[in-house]
Amino acid sequence: MELNRRTVIAGAAAAGVAATTLGTGNAQAATGSAPGRKPVKEPFGKLADGTKIYRWSLENGGTRLKVLNWGGVVQSLEIPDRHGHYANVSLGFDDIDDYVAKTPYFGALIGRYGNRIAKGRFTLDGKSHQLSVNDGVNSLHGGSQGFDKHVWDVEPFTKGSDVGLHLHYTSVDGEMGYPGTLRTKVTYTLTRHGEWRIDYEATTDRATVVNLTSHVYWNLAGEGSGTIEDHELRIAAARYTPTDSGLIPTGELAGVAGTPFDFRHAKPIGRDIRAGHEQQVQAKGYDHNWVLDKGITAKPEHIATLRDPRSGRTLKIATDQPGLQFYSGNFLDGTLTGTGGRTYRQGDALCLETQHFPDSPNHAGFPTTVLRPGQTYRTTTIHTFGA
């Protein structure tokens, strides 16, 4: 059966999550009813052990997407500006070796648990579990060998006017310290309207915790074009989860009103990023989970809008999840060179990761991330582009 939403919603209610929305917005106009281009597969290099890495190219409704079987990585995502000029709006590399050795999760699928778990520990059904620790004393994005560092099985498909990829990965019992064998299926779909839809599914043979997400770094002016501080962001959230010095939630749900964390009305990201708020100082910018006003919903609802005034490009995100991690690219340091041959510096991109809250297994008041045998983890996020 499906993961018990009543339990999860009750957890959200306990956390004080209100049931309001930002509105659904309008999808980009369809460019025609004909099916998009069938996914095209091409070599992208080899791993050190000789494993072949491939790239799939998809195009539909004015959106062009390139995906690797390494970590389910979105290597490139191209959309037009207000004049119809295309640009790749996601950060990435041209070489598989860079993805293996250097990447800060560029475009990757994240699991088994997106975001941080304090000290890499949690207790489930009375048993303590020690996870891989890879972020100081904490576990981040599934540990040192998370889902982003594995080869996924990929099946291309066309369905009606949609095109896409089914990606499969099985995480064995004990991998990175997580209990249970988790069978994961993630579907990337490009619709005839040019929307990029992600559907996540997972089942387990033993009680475990799951929190899957996508880690695309966005710059709507084009990757390598410079700062995103002039991008305008709106998030439908009156609360966020403050963190300690290790970026682990304290358990408090703090109000955004009167703080730099208030994005209830669209504003430039750079307006308050240097406000000197204690939370920003320790995170070197924004790197926090927003508690979405709508809570957990049966279907995706619009929760955030990002706009680049220069190009006119917009990104609208809809999800059924209760949280959104907004990360302002604080740790990009100029040492990485991307697909356009330009270096990426601090604040040159941002991430908007739909999710359950960080460190939820250690906070009884947060929405639960527990998955049990017989249940199916399901969640959907939809990206709508416009100009």
Active site residue: 223, 301, 353, 363, which one? Answer: 353
Q: Are 385 and 65 in contact (CB under 8 A)?
A: no
DSSP track, 322-378:
SEEEEE--TT--S-EE-TTS-EE-TTS-BEEEEESPTTGGG-TTSPP-EE-TT-BEE
Q: For residues 218 and 353, give the distance between their C-alpha atoms in angstroms, rounded to a whole number.
A: 11
* CB of 111 closer than 8 Å to CB of 208: no
Q: State the amino acid at position 375 in one-letter form.
A: Q
Dmax (CA) for the chain in angstroms is 59
Report the alpha-carbon distance of residue 200 to residue 307 in Å, rounded.
26
Considering just the CA atoms, what is the radius of gyration of the chain in Å?
A: 19
Beta strand extents in 132-286 (DSSP E only): 139-140, 153-159, 162-171, 182-190, 196-204, 208-209, 213-215, 232-235, 239-241, 254-255, 267-268
Cα–Cα dist 78/112, whole Å:
28
Check if 288 is active-site.
Answer: no
Q: Are 140 and 159 in contact (CB under 8 A)?
A: no
| Alpha-carbon span 75 to 157, nearest angstrom | 19
**Can you tell me the distance from the alpha carbon of 249 to that of 131, in angstroms, rounded to the nearest whole number?**
18
Contacts of 145 (CB under 8 A, 6+ apart): 132, 175, 176
Task: From the candidates 141, 150, 193, 215, give the one annotated as an active-site residue.
Answer: 215
Question: In the Cβ-directed half-sphere of 381, how many Cα atoms lie within 13 Å?
Answer: 25
Tokens of 238: 């009156």
Catalytic residue flag (residue 353)? yes
CA distance 40 to 304: 31
Rounded CA separation 284/262 (Å): 17
CA distance 265 to 267: 6
**Catalytic residue list:** 215, 353
